[in-house]
Chain A
Amino acid sequence: MRTGRSELVRLAHGGGGLLTRELVGQVFLKHLGNPVLDRLEDAAVLPGRLALTTDAFVVSPPFFPGGDIGRLAVCGTVNDLAMVGARPLALTASFILEEGLPLADLERAVASMAAAAREAGVTVVAGDTKVVERGGADGLFVTTAGVGLVPEGIALGTDRIRPGDRVIVSGPVGDHGIAVLSRRPGLEFDTPVVSDCRPLNGLVAHLFARLAQGVGTSAIRFLRDPTRGGLATVLTEAAEGASVDIVLDEEEIPVRPEVRGAAEVLGLDPLYLANEGKLVAVCAPEGVEEVLAALRECPEGREARAIGRVEEGRGNVILRTAFGGRKILDLLPGEQLPRIC
């Protein structure tokens, strides 16, 4: 009978949930751990206020409603930098191409990358290309690194989160997850949902600029973009990192009706679906109104909502249901799977 660690990497290890965490702890941190890496933040902030991040993009299918792997690569990297408060400066991009990939597809992805980079105000300053034999990669993989500068006075992290703080999301969740699934072979369905993939550095810069004139930038404790694993996963990591409980009001969490519907058809929970153009912010209670106002002034944050609060606790995310019930949102073992039961 199987017990203990799996001997093979499973798809679930990439799901962003419990098994990913296990893999990171038992393999990566075990050998590579250091005070900066151990913080496991979206980007590392080094002496000199330099922010550095890296990311890999393996999305399948590579072209989906509302985006593609090229756009995703730029936005994902820029957003990682923005989440530690950094102003993104430049990106590198390395491509792993599978033998047989149509050049037209590659060019389409790269052109999209360029457009996204212009939108975010960054440049790709270094790159690399490798080609592997047919079967060695799923069409096209992209790995990036991003570098940015964190302005003076900005220091974000779970260590700043306090009971009484409030939780805000910049808009409806689950769009990207559904958009990608809608094109997956075996699950294809026709939905108006498109990915929300977009750069958030403009939104973050505006937020800090506004706060600087009001309640102060220190009102923002923590930022993160809820990518794989979704809102529930990202908030669980925050709650655990800060040793607090986060209580969310189910009725306040914005989800588009089409996303809710598609998720229901497949038996999935929108709170665990990926987002590529949203952020979650934990802020001081006295800053809530200003934060919401600032976010709503930008198109990327027009539908921002306050969805919960931080309480004394031990690292749980608790959802208050429409009936006043409370239930814990756990980390999932791996990716969510469509179900019929």
Chain B
Amino acid sequence: MQEALRRFRDPDLARPLLERVRHLAGRAAERLGRPPAFMEVCGTHTVAISRAGLRAALRGLVDLKSGPGCPVCVTDPAEIDAMIALARLPGVTVTTFGDMMRVPGSRGSLEEERARGADVRVVYSPADAVELAAACPERQVVFLGVGFETTAPAVALSALEAARRRLANFSVLTAHKLYPPALEALLADPEVELDGFLLPGHATTILGRRRLAFLAERYGVPAVIAGFEPVDILGALHELLAQVVAGEARVVNAYPRLVREEGNPRALAVMEAVFEPVAAAWRGLGTIPDSGLAFRPAWRELDAAARFRVEVPPSRPHPGCRCGDLMKGKAAPFDCRLFARACRPERPLGPCMVSSEGACAAYYKYERAC
């Protein structure tokens, strides 16, 4: 298995595969009359593609657009403001993935709140937050539940663990989102023009291929579930291009070493037991029904939103910020007049620049002319 895992990132396999992809992209462009446009739904794909230099290698041949799969990017400013409001409460320790620390809300970020004296700590796993709660019974430990289907089951398990150990000082502020509803919202927008989707391999590990079959069956759009190594991504692009050339639309699992047809039943079961789908506000996409997760009434005791009442003034996005359009694939970072000028990694105005996987941060780091 070790050898196989290494081979998925082997340049000796990736390079010839890249040539095949380039060749096929040319044929796809002939058929369409323009380069094919695919959406990388997942922010981790955006970063992986940029890091391997694939975007530059395919420039002019394939138009790879960043999608709404960056939980930080699509987190509504009001949600961030709520997190900051919690951090300001005395006796509260906010624990979070590092990704959230620099996201700007309406009035600053969690990192800045920490500078003002709030107890905000970065953890690698929600399980670490549970251990912290056990170790510090005098603090109210709140975990910020951000992330898609990949992360929600882990957060649910941690919450159940805290309940099992009767930790009265642990709670979760849920801001989890589900990605298939966002894809449907995108496809409903007539201005969005896409020839296919590169689907997130790990979120789909939880959901299963079948749940995504609707993309081809109902909308006639090709989609390929992809892993994150360069060979995985190139292989998936090859499959997408082959479908475009043949004029076909299927949802293909190109990550079968992990993704199953029906997904992970245990993960789905624990999500189902602890959370229920609710309407959620997505930056740039508006409110989408059944696209977010909230605690079921039976688990209200773990819900930070129920335990703490925080006053959150209505949020205001920065005027000129085009994160929303970017999310929809309607604009590229260079189209935003704030990009690389007023909005830069050290001074981000919108989540697309803050998140290391946000389209703007990735473009700033990897795609500026060199």
Chain A bound to chain B: yes
Q: Which residues of A contact B (CB under 8 A)?
A: 1-3, 6, 8-12, 17-19, 22, 185-187, 189, 251, 265-267, 316, 318, 321-330, 332-334, 337-341
- B138 lies within 8 A of chain A by Cβ: no
Determine if A325 and B365 form an interchain contact, defined as CB atoms under 8 angstroms apart. no
A18 with B345: in contact, given A2-B108, A186-B124, A316-B370 (CB under 8 Å)?
yes
Contacts of B101 in A (CB 8 A): 337
Determine if A11 and B115 form an interchain contact, defined as CB atoms under 8 angstroms apart. yes
Determine if A339 and B53 form an interchain contact, defined as CB atoms under 8 angstroms apart. no
Q: How far is the CB of B322 from chain A (nearest CB, A)?
A: 15
Determine if A321 and B53 form an interchain contact, defined as CB atoms under 8 angstroms apart. yes
Q: Which of B102, B346, B349 has the most CB of A within 10 A?
A: B346
CA distance A339 to B44 in the complex (A): 11
CA distance A10 to B43 in the complex (A): 27
Determine if A323 and B18 form an interchain contact, defined as CB atoms under 8 angstroms apart. yes
Determine if B99 and A337 form an interchain contact, defined as CB atoms under 8 angstroms apart. yes
CA distance A119 to B291 in the complex (A): 61
- B14 lies within 8 A of chain A by Cβ: yes
Q: List 11 A-B contacts (CB under 8 A).
A: A3-B342, A9-B115, A18-B346, A267-B356, A321-B51, A327-B53, A328-B365, A328-B368, A337-B102, A339-B99, A339-B356
CA distance A254 to B317 in the complex (A): 43
CA distance A324 to B112 in the complex (A): 39
Contacts of A340 in B (CB 8 A): 97-99, 124, 147, 151
Q: Which of A323, A330, A341 has the most CB of B within 10 A?
A: A341
Determine if B107 and A2 form an interchain contact, defined as CB atoms under 8 angstroms apart. yes
CA distance A328 to B364 in the complex (A): 9
- B85 lies within 8 A of chain A by Cβ: no
CA distance A6 to B347 in the complex (A): 9
Determine if B102 and A333 form an interchain contact, defined as CB atoms under 8 angstroms apart. yes
Chain B 28-62 interface residues, beta-carbon cutoff 8 Å to A:
43-44, 50-54, 56-57
CA distance A17 to B344 in the complex (A): 13
- B357 lies within 8 A of chain A by Cβ: yes
- B307 lies within 8 A of chain A by Cβ: no
Determine if A323 and B98 form an interchain contact, defined as CB atoms under 8 angstroms apart. no
Q: In the complex, how many residues of chain B place their beta carbon closer than 8 angstroms to a beta carbon of chain A? A: 56
CA distance A329 to B366 in the complex (A): 8
Task: Name the residue of chain A whose CB is nearest to the CB of B358.
Answer: A341
Q: How far is the CB of B364 from chain A (nearest CB, A)?
A: 7
Contacts of A332 in B (CB 8 A): 345
Contacts of A9 in B (CB 8 A): 115
Q: How far is the CB of A136 from chain B (nearest CB, A)?
A: 15
Contacts of A12 in B (CB 8 A): 102, 111
A318 with B370: in contact, given A326-B56, A330-B364 (CB under 8 Å)?
yes
- B123 lies within 8 A of chain A by Cβ: yes
Determine if B365 and A327 form an interchain contact, defined as CB atoms under 8 angstroms apart. yes
A323 with B346: in contact, given A316-B370, A341-B147 (CB under 8 Å)?
no
- B300 lies within 8 A of chain A by Cβ: no
- 18 further interface pairs, Cβ-Cβ under 8 Å (given A6-B112, A12-B111, A340-B147): A1-B316, A2-B112, A187-B128, A189-B124, A322-B52, A325-B53, A325-B56, A327-B51, A327-B366, A327-B367, A327-B370, A339-B97, A340-B97, A340-B98, A340-B99, A340-B151, A341-B71, A341-B355
Contacts of B180 in A (CB 8 A): none
Contacts of B51 in A (CB 8 A): 321, 327
Q: How far is the CB of A176 from chain B (nearest CB, A)?
A: 19
Q: CB < 8 Å: which of B53, B97, B106, B147 contacts A1?
A: B106
Determine if B14 and A323 form an interchain contact, defined as CB atoms under 8 angstroms apart. yes
CA distance A230 to B292 in the complex (A): 39
CA distance A127 to B368 in the complex (A): 49
CA distance A340 to B151 in the complex (A): 9
The proximity string for B residues 95-132 relative to A, scoring 1 for CB distances below 8 Å and 0 otherwise, is: 10111011010111001101110000111100010001
Determine if A19 and B346 form an interchain contact, defined as CB atoms under 8 angstroms apart. yes
Determine if A326 and B98 form an interchain contact, defined as CB atoms under 8 angstroms apart. no
Determine if B365 and A330 form an interchain contact, defined as CB atoms under 8 angstroms apart. yes
Determine if B53 and A11 form an interchain contact, defined as CB atoms under 8 angstroms apart. no
CA distance A251 to B107 in the complex (A): 43
CA distance A339 to B70 in the complex (A): 12
Determine if B346 and A333 form an interchain contact, defined as CB atoms under 8 angstroms apart. yes
CA distance A251 to B11 in the complex (A): 10
CA distance A189 to B72 in the complex (A): 25
Q: How far is the CB of A91 from chain B (nearest CB, A)?
A: 32
CA distance A6 to B108 in the complex (A): 10
Task: Name the residue of chain A whose CB is nearest to the CB of B132.
Answer: A186
Determine if A326 and B370 form an interchain contact, defined as CB atoms under 8 angstroms apart. yes
A186 with B128: in contact, given A323-B11, A326-B53 (CB under 8 Å)?
yes
CA distance A186 to B230 in the complex (A): 31
Contacts of B128 in A (CB 8 A): 186-187
CA distance A322 to B111 in the complex (A): 35
Contacts of B368 in A (CB 8 A): 328
A186 with B11: in contact, given A2-B107, A6-B112, A323-B18 (CB under 8 Å)?
no
A10 with B53: in contact, given A18-B346, A326-B370 (CB under 8 Å)?
no
Q: Kindly list the 10 A-B residue pairs having the minimum CB-CB distance in the complex, ordered from nearest.
A: A325-B53, A337-B98, A333-B346, A322-B11, A18-B346, A327-B366, A321-B53, A186-B123, A338-B98, A8-B115
Q: Which of B98, B121, B318 has the most CB of A within 10 A?
A: B98
Determine if B114 and A11 form an interchain contact, defined as CB atoms under 8 angstroms apart. yes
Q: Which of A318, A323, A326, A339 has the most CB of B within 10 A?
A: A339
Q: How far is the CB of A242 from chain B (nearest CB, A)?
A: 17
- B15 lies within 8 A of chain A by Cβ: yes
Determine if A186 and B112 form an interchain contact, defined as CB atoms under 8 angstroms apart. no
